[in-house]
Amino acid sequence: MLRYAPGPDPYFAYKLHHVDRARTAWVLAEEFGVFEALRQGPSTIPEVSQRTGLQERPVAVLLAASACLGIVGLEQGRHFIHPVMRDMVLEGGRARLRPRPPDPEKDWWYRTMKQAIQTNAPVPEELPPWVAHPDDEANVDVTAFAPERHGWRVLWGEALATAFDFGPFHRVVDLGGATGGVLVGLTGKWSHLQGVVFDLPYSRKTAEAAIAQSGAAERVRFHAGDFFRDPFPEGIDVCFLSHVIHDWDDEHCRQLLARCYQALPAGCPVLAQEFLLNADKSGDVLGVYQWFGLLYGTMGDQRTAAEIQDLMAGVGFRELDCRPIDSDQSIVIGWKR
């Protein structure tokens, strides 16, 4: 649910960032008839998909977003409109609320998400650079160094350092590690660790600058390459994926995890960090609206811990585990035995 608890919240800014996404999800659920599709009672995702003409993936996302707003409930795999909300979101309701659709010419987010939901496909002109131009080393502007984003990742790395025992290991590779912030934070807490950022060539310039600015150049380095095609860095004994699994469909996830399995020595782990969804694919604001945002640039899927564990098990990882890193993020762990 979209709610806040008392006390410190390191994700407050990120949650506020999702307010516009929440409003857009409400508008689009109305426009595509998701609520009217639930008028007759609790329904499955395939049933809502058939009634709205949308494919199941965007329907699942819109239903989860509506549940996060408190409009829709979920029980035993069937979604329903809460009784008090029926008067607000269904035609003829006593307190009918109709969101005002934005001007698509002026609202990029609304226009893009509407197209993504209609097609269940990334919007070609809005593809992220790592999809559109994976080999373009000159395209450095797309990863322009944002100190606050690098700083967030440093804090994530410090939190990760307390959630997992890195004592037995020596070299961690962060696949798709951007500016290396997680490794800066992690290796700052575990001084014996070396970190390697494995990311596309165009990330090199800003990553190396951010790592140097953080005073971590002696313990974190950059390795350019495509983690689906190119050899992994040598000597690694931990594979770490921070918000990478959600970018890809199941087949690509299996390919990537299989490459991790092949690269690791026996007795070593893979760690996948995510804002996990609940077992029924519902969730809180960060996981749900991150899932919503995936629609326009990827064919990925926000996942549950069990779904990620199934992907890991399918390529050979064993002794699967899941544990929190902080109030909102978790790591899913698999071991090569």
Instruction: Give me the active site residues, please.
Output: 246
Contact predicate 320/334, CB 8 Å: yes
Handedness of CA 14, 199, 294, 82 (dihedral sign): negative
Q: Alpha helix locations (H) across 32-178?
A: 45-52, 56-68, 83-89, 108-119, 129-132, 147-163
Copy the structure tokens of residue 56.
């199941």
Handedness of CA 313, 318, 319, 324 (dihedral sign): negative
All residues at 6 or more sequence positions from 143 whose CB lies less than 8 Å from its CB, including other chains: 129, 178, 179, 202, 203, 205, 206, 207
Amino acid at 10: P
Identify the three-state secondary structure at position 111: helix
Q: How far is CA 193 from each of CA 150, 208, 216, 235, rounded to the nearest angstrom?
A: 19, 18, 12, 12
The helix or strand, by DSSP H or E, that contains position 260, with its residue range, turns out to be: helix 250-263
How far apart CA 312 and CA 309 sit, in angstroms, is 5
Closest-CA residue to 175 (of 139, 217, 130): 130
Contact predicate 82/64, CB 8 Å: no
